[in-house]
Amino acid sequence: MKRPSTAAAAFAVMMSLAAGAAPASPILFVFTGLRGGAADTCKWFNDNLTDRSVGALTRQTDLLYNRIALPVDQDVTVRGSATSDEGEQLVDFQLSSATICTAGEAIYGPTPSPAPS
């Protein structure tokens, strides 16, 4: 049986460590998050706020009813991100056993606004 080279083994170890070593970031502000989905759930919610179809209203109500208050200083690892049609950054992460999505400001702080001219 052919044995892998030392360089190949070292590369494989480095790749596995890099993949599993996502840095934890604390939640900075008191925000609410939506349960049950990746950042795409928050993107759908933001992009469909004015949709008044029965299906959209049912899903919006369900997401709002099941929202969760994010605890300040809780360390979380961001797993995904998305951007709403209006340019808001959205993130998702695990909190206890639930996948939560919320505005990126909860983790990264407020987005600087352009100075008035």
Say what the pTM is.
0.71
Q: List b or e across 57-69, with b for residues whose CB sees 16 or more CB atoms inside 10 angstroms.
A: eebbeebeeeeee
3-state SS class at 61: helix
Most distant CA atoms of the chain, gap in Å: 70
Structure confidence by residue, pLDDT tens digits, 5-55: 444 444 444 444 444 556 788 888 778 999 988 999 999 999 999 999 999
**By percentage, how much of the chain surpasses pLDDT 70?**
77
Structure confidence by residue, pLDDT tens digits, 77-104: 999 999 999 999 999 999 888 899 999 9
